[in-house]
Structure 1
Amino acid sequence: MKIYAAALCTFAALASTPASSQQLSPAEQRIVAEVKANSAAALGLLERSVNINSGTMNHAGVREVGALFRKELDQLGFATRWIDMPKEMQRAGHLLATRTGTQGKRVLMLGHLDTVFELDSPVQKWKLNGDRVSGQGVSDMKGGNVVMIEALRALHRTGALDNTNIAVMFTGDEESAGEPKAVSRGDMVALARQSDVALAFEGTVLDQDGRATATVGRRSSSGFELQVTGKQGHSSGIFGERAGYGAVYEAARILDGFRQQVVEPDLTFNPGLILGGTAVSHDEQGSRGTAFGKTNVIANTVTVKGDLRYLDSTQRDRAHARMRAIAADSLPGTSASISFHESYPPMAVTPGNLKVLELFSQASNDAGLGPVAAVPAGLRGAGDIQFAAPHVDSLDGIGATGSGAHSPSEDLELASIERAAIRTAIMLYRLTR
């Protein structure tokens, strides 16, 4: 991890200063011209997609947005199909588009069709605000989806898609991935194993100087469950030899032990739900629970549900070991057990990912759009790319530029669609030569 962190700092320093621009080839200049010529139509495509509600649980809406992008990909010569999920998973499915060729790298491109705004959401749809637009999912991530389509369109119009090997996958449940994830992300993992490079188009984050960045690492999304027991008895006996300390004090000791002793950069753990008393019940599906207890009775049980995020498996293993040790060092009259579950694997910062960023930054710089630096891995949440990253060199966060994701103020800078499409098209052209 220290090696990767050092490499990331080195690349960030290099990317913060202008690199020498290589003149675009005639073919690349034609590709850029095609992106610019279609910019107005691209915004029309974005508007149509944003005006379709596609909250994860609005399966009809997710499929409708999928049909919109499927039509575009069909016109670009891709073979397309809809991948249904088992009915019991209650998810709409995914759109897959492929081109089979023998030229250059095998590229996997990832986007998602769903948003956090469900069918009854009061958040407006498409609304222009000068040089920006707001609306449901405009930044996360329908803008990124349009970037993908427009980059591919420019390549198609110049004949540069011929004989390439490119797969495009739009998932229908990125905001709330279907369980089990071995099924909902099984096709993505299989595609990643057959690819040389994976590119994901979540929004581009600008640094403090307004320069574009990309994501070479993302922390895992996992969780922990702490179960604590104590001796029920009269409250007057608390701290005594016979009664002990009770489950609530033991839970507090353990959690504060985590806070003070499990400390590493980019490692976080959050106890999001605590239930304690003499009778506790927890509704896993609804993420809620009930607790009964009396102030004159020592609590005999506590349940804690928490979130745990880490950069790589080595950091995870250290955290797990330390948390288990803290939980096992029980106060008198108590005992505790801790378990962990994985949700999204980490996207570790690897030399391969940094190399992909270097190629992307060079493409951006050559197009006159400036270099692209790495976002510190600890600043990004979980995303689909993390299922691909363990199997293939990967880069994320190269879509459009917006703000306020997942909120009523979510918006997008309109001009960022063109910029991101130019960067992507040149990168794809170079990868597939």
Structure 2
Amino acid sequence: MLMRLARICGTAALLLADLPSSFAGALTLTIPPGAEPEVVFDHARDACEKFDVPDVPVRAFRVADGSIRLIASHWTNRAMAGATLDSLRHPCDIVFEGAGNDDPSAFDDRGWIVSTYTLDGKTVHALVHNEFHGHKRPALCPSGQYMDCWYNTITYAVSTDGGRSFKAPPGPERFVAGVPYRYDPTRGKRSGLFNPSNIVRRGDYFYTMMTAAPQGGQRAGVCLMRTDRLDDPARWRGWDGRDFTVGFVDPYHASGAAADRAATCTPIPGLTRLMASLSLHRPSGLYIGLFTHRGKTGPGTDPVDGVYYATSPDLISWTAPSLLFPTPTTLDKGCDTLPVVYPSLIDPDSPSRNFEDTDDDAYIYMTRITMEGCKTGWTRNLVRLKVRISP
């Protein structure tokens, strides 16, 4: 698989086309000739248990002593650590885990650390993808099906020891963002806001993107939110189509005027897939977004599954998706493939403590899944592949 993926990558880059005039220039992402995927986490070698897998996009940060911590974990969150990105080790220490609370209003069932940001290498702020699994509680889910009773919110956790352990505030104080509707076991489909991207700083604000499921006044798509205070979960504001005015409402604990406000975010035009990674390309000043996608690469062509990218000057106006390299993904529903998910761009030479920017050379980190029959299996490896960025 490694050699096959490398051969595919070497011939697959496409130029961006039809850029709006507001862009200073287009970016082209390519896989350098001869580049081959490198295994960062081998499930057979490194996993501490069956479910110890890279189940979210990679996030990395430098701690105060100059070493690096990297998180790409499952609901039992662990972190890799080392002096450099080339020397990471995977200890079995648990850095964060949800409490498995049976009450959806607690926002504390199963949680994945999906976004991290630190200003000093000591205090690390985190956004948590929090899933309430109603199907695990028969009385709360008539169908007993995961997707029917999946209620999702984005919550907050913080580490004061350089990312060695994270804690969440109690109850409603951890709530960051969600839909203004309570858990509904009869809905028959997933509900909420999901999978925030990494956090990037732009001026005085910190930004992240997340995926929204359609429900009531909430439209489906990719939303953008920002804050000026990472340590205050209530300060995040979503984009409303013109400005950042959406104050997210906790449907269980809001009172007064807030309880009557159906606060929903407006999806960013043109983005339909989970934005797994955001990175500022320093030479051009353009942001690069990475995601898996199934799309056409030209008129009259068949849709292609693969890792795609788009660029933006401001995180709001984005180019159309361009194929970086074709590869099986979980979108094609293949039974005999080795799909790739969660591509994330990281430049080892980034001057940012949070690896939120890149020069012309970086790595794409991604999870490769081994299928078990026609279902995604638990053998999941983290690999990285060199990428070149040019105007």
TM-score of the superposition, structure 1-length normalised? 0.28
Higher helix fraction (1 or 2): 1
Higher RCO (CA < 8 A, seq sep 6+): 1
TM-score (norm 2): 0.30
- Which of structures 1 and 2 has the bigger CA Rg? 1
